[in-house]
Amino acid sequence: MQENINSKTINRYKPGKLEIYGFWGVIKLVYYLIRTKIIVPKARLIRFPIDIRGKKYVDFGQNISIGRGCRIEAYPYLTRDCIISFGNNIEINDYVHITGINKISIGDNVLMASKIYISDSNHGSYKGTDSDSHPESVARLRKVSGAPISIEDNVWIGESVSVLSGVTIGRCSVIGANSVVSKDIPPFTIAIGIPAKPIKRFDFNVNRWVKYDS
């Protein structure tokens, strides 16, 4: 008879790296670790390839882990200060694209799934003012505009999420897969959709997630 495995049993058992990755997978991890310490010494692990542009304007914090195929781009169009800043103990999965011209701040212990897009910038202006970009102008030549992004501590961002300019994601929040964050998300909430809207909040009085009441 198959043994029933409860949550306590799962939490007690910690498989080794050889069991998870196999022999050649472990060799690859060692290779990644050596390259990581050469390129970003304070990082925990980078799985190559990775595309880093404007490295001098990026602060990787400490103990960051980055998956394969990520793009991290900092363009000093508006400032010569640090443009993209990571906190400590951040985990980023594969094919995440982060591009900044203004300021992108990512707090401690943030967890990101794969194929996430985070950008504080836009080609042109579309606000309904006299400074709007004309639709017949060449898109790539339109003046770059943008507003800062803040992702606070302990945020969990799901698969294929887009985070657009000028938003703050409050601490300890969760963004559901395939969502587009175009407005601020309060702390301690779960938000989903296009655009992302809160659907649950954590109620500290009962210690559980409850339906969000705006």
**Residues belonging to the active site:** 134
Q: Cα-flanking dihedrals φ and ψ of residue 33, to 5°?
A: -65, -40
Which amino acid type is present at position 65? S
DSSP codes joined into one string, 37-53: HHH-TT-SEE-S-EEEE
In angstroms, rounded to a whole number, what is the distance separating the alpha carbons of residues 117 and 180? 9
Q: Cα-flanking dihedrals φ and ψ of residue 27, to 5°?
A: -60, -40
Give the residue ranges of DSSP H helices in the chain. Answer: 7-12, 17-39
| Tokens linked to 55 | 């490295």
Name the pairing type of β-strands 197-203 and 189-192.
Answer: antiparallel
What is the DSSP-derived secondary structure letter of residue 23? Answer: H
Name the pairing type of β-strands 104-106 and 121-123.
Answer: unpaired
